[in-house]
Structure 1
């Protein structure tokens, strides 16, 4: 890849990954033009020979602090590079490095249902913060109920109702849950009940922060924990 010249009609994205195949959540991006780097050395050459604003997506299985520091060191005074890292596993020290760094966004690939939305927002100039808490993949049934009376529900108008769901991943601050085809709205307050690692049922007051759909038509939601009680 030679000198990179931004195009005003498109959002230009440089993509580096061990696989040159774009995952579906990136294929769905609109209004972008892709440039693929075949290696880290090629990306380094591109960054050091370019000028202006660049957007770089780096997709990897494991993201280490050393790797992030290396990528950042390749920028220079004539290029303004914005990095989006997508990884399956992220070293905790990475989160300390990127605090208050608006030019870096770190995303966990398990959140693929919302990566398209977050990347689009970043390309549109919105300021986004990377997730601080480490997410752990889980597979656990959960029960949810609305924290306020719903105007319509399976059990009748203005009656609280339960929904069965399936927890996909979990962190200290929130979780990702699959709800089948049931409908929950963004900003809804819900009570989430699940079994912790000791087999004890825990109730968590939560708020729905984002809503997406899987390719199979299931509703996927991300919740933020507000208060926990056993």
Structure 2
């Protein structure tokens, strides 16, 4: 039987009644999903801190609980890997850039599309933006990949520690450095402020590099 989250934990003065309900509902889903791995207290803590990561900059407050739930789920999966509670061995690749709005999102889009469930891809930024670059969204749509469900987010310690490969794209010293991790630094133009025509060559180079990385990791790709 799973440990249930407490409603008291979600009675925060900075949350509307609807947000409190949405977060509590998210906590129940996560508690069920991670039953036997993490207790409700851990789930509550990660959900609250994930919410706080977005609360000060999200442009659509209505979606804050959903963003928090998705980010908390990713962080809990990472924590399970770090603590040895996930022994699946599925490769994890973390793509990092400055704003997590262009390069790293396109890389994640290609990685997820090509690897499907045979590898796990995450992305993050040292200074996350407010939204994904519209030109990057359009360029990826032309390649048959929809990245509109993604959102700029930071990287966290457990996420970086869980990754088998960390790919950096222009975040320099702000990117995390952990001994023993495999790092790849991809020198790519920043699509920020560029139109779709200028983003297409960046997109194509990212696809080439993602395919080469998956091949190196021995991860079969979809046709």
* TM-score, length-scaled by structure 1: 0.30
**Higher strand share goes to which structure?**
1
Q: Give 1 or 2: higher helix fraction.
A: 2
Which of 1 and 2 has greater Rg? 1
Query: TM-score scaled by structure 2?
Result: 0.31
User: Which has the bigger relative contact order, CA under 8 A and spacing at least 6?
Assistant: 2
